Amino acid sequence: TALAGIWQELLGVERVGRHDNFFELGGHSLLAVQLLGRTLAVGLKFSAADLFQAPVLKELASKIHFQRQPSVPEAISVQATGSQPPLFFVPTGSGDCSYVLSLVEKMDVDCPIYALPWPPFNAVCPQTLERIAAEVILAIREIQPRGPYRFAGYSSGAILAYAIAQHLLSLDEAVSFIALIDVALPANPSGISPTQMVREVLLDSFESLDDESFGVLERFAGQSSIAQLLEKAKQVGAIPLDRDLHNEVLMYEKVARFHEALQAYQIPSLPIEIHQFYATEALFSSRARQAETSLGPEARSPMRGWDRVLSREVITAVPIGGDHVTMMSDLENRKALARAISAHLTAIRERDL
C-alpha cells in the first residue's frame, strides 16, 4: 500500500493496482531514482535491479526489505551483488543520478554499484565541498567501512568525487579508482554567480520554445530569482500550468548552493590516479548564446585541465564518442562508455592484486 501511494504521486495517476507495471504507467530512469529515494526515506529498501527485474507492483513488493529510517541519506543500490569492492557513483552537479541506472545496465563488472545521495543542504551554514564530501562519506561507510574505495562521477558532480577522495585520503584510507566522466577544471574564478549559472541551465532547458517566448524568458531571467523565472516559464507555456513548482524551486536552489561550494573549492594535488572519460565532440547551444565561462582552452583537451593539478603520468584519458550530453544519452555512446569504464576498472583491479 505504501509503495502504491508513492507510485501514484510520482507517476501522477489516480489509482495503482497490484498488477500494474511501473514503466508501462510512464516510469523512466529519473522517476526510478526518485522512487528508490522516496522508499528508502520511509524504511522500504530494494535495488534498482529489483525494479527492472520486477516492475509489477505485486512482484516488487515481495522483494522489499524493511529497515529503520536512516539518520543520514542512504546510497541507492543499483547493482546489489559482486565479489569485488563496491563502485560508488556521485550525482551530477544538478543532483541527478538517473544517468547511473542506464549506464550500469551496459557495464560488465563483478561488484556492487551504488548511486550516492546529495546530503541535505543546511540553509544556515555556508556550504563547502569539503563539508558536503564529509556528509556523503557517512553514507559510503554504512556500506563499506574501510577502503580501498572506488568512485565515478559525471559532469561537475565528479569534482565532488575528487573531494570525497581527498577527505578519505586525509583519514589514511586508500582510493584505488576514480573515473571522471567529462569534467573540466575551471581555469579562473568564475564571474558568474551560482544563481546566474542556474538561470542559464534553466534557459537551456527551454530552447525548444519559439523565438518570441524564449526571448521573453531570456530578458526576464537577468533580473529574476529562480522561483520567478520558473513562474514566468509557466506563463509563456514552457511548463504546464497545473505543475506544482515548489519542489523544482527547492531543487534549483540546492543546485545553486552546490555550485557556490564548487566555485570556492581549491582543488588540491592528490597522490592518486584518475581516469578521464572525455567527450570527443564540442557541445554547442542551439541558440548560440555565448555565456561567459571560467573554462580555459585546455577544457577542450583530453585531460580537461586536470594536468594543472596532477602529473600527466597519473591521468589516463579515454575518448568517448559524442558531446557532453550525447556521450551519455546516445545508446551507442553510452555502451562504449560503459565498456570503457568496466575495462579500466578491471585492469586496475588485476594490476593491484
Q: So what's the pLDDT on residue 247?
A: 72
What percent of the chain stands above pLDDT 90? 31
- Would you say residue 189 lies in a domain? no
Whether 102 and 171 share a structural domain: yes
Which of 241, 261, 281 is a domain's end point?
Answer: 261
Q: So what's the pLDDT on residue 123?
A: 52
Q: Alpha-carbon distance 206 to 278, whole Å? A: 26
Whether 180 and 298 share a structural domain: yes
Q: Alpha-carbon distance 254 to 198, whole Å? A: 10
Place of cell 579500466: 344
Whether 315 and 342 share a structural domain: yes
Which of 221, 236, 261 is a domain's end point?
Answer: 261
- pLDDT tens string, the chain, 353 residues long: the values are 888 888 888 888 888 888 999 988 888 877 888 888 777 766 777 878 788 888 899 888 888 876 655 555 678 889 988 999 999 999 988 888 889 998 999 999 999 999 998 776 655 456 788 888 888 888 898 899 998 999 999 988 899 999 999 999 998 999 999 999 999 887 665 566 767 777 777 777 777 777 778 877 877 777 777 788 888 888 877 777 777 777 777 777 788 888 888 888 999 999 999 999 999 998 765 543 444 344 456 667 888 989 999 999 999 999 999 999 899 999 999 999 999 999 999 998 888 76
Domain around 230: 194-261
Which of 69, 91, 121 is a domain's end point?
Answer: 69
The residue among 200, 210, 188 whose CA lies nearest residue 285 is 200
Count CB atoms within 10 A of the CB of residue 284. Answer: 9
Whether 138 and 227 share a structural domain: no
Whether 91 and 22 share a structural domain: no
Convert 320-353 into a string of H (helix), E (strand) and C (coil): ECCCCCHHHHCHHHHHHHHHHHHHHHHHHHHHHC
- Would you say residue 255 lies in a domain? yes
- Would you say residue 284 lies in a domain? yes
Whether 26 and 160 share a structural domain: no
Whether 10 and 159 share a structural domain: no
Whether 76 and 180 share a structural domain: yes
Q: pLDDT tens, 240-288?
A: 777 777 777 777 778 888 888 888 899 999 999 999 999 999 876 554 3
Whether 96 and 65 share a structural domain: no
DSSP for 159-215 reads: HHHHHHHHHHHHTT--EEEEEEES-PPPSS--SS-HHHHHHHHHHHHTTTS-HHHHH
Could you tell me the CATH number of the domain that includes residue 11?
1.10.1200.10
Q: Is the peptide bond before 319 cis (omega within 30 degrees of 0)?
A: no
Whether 110 and 170 share a structural domain: yes
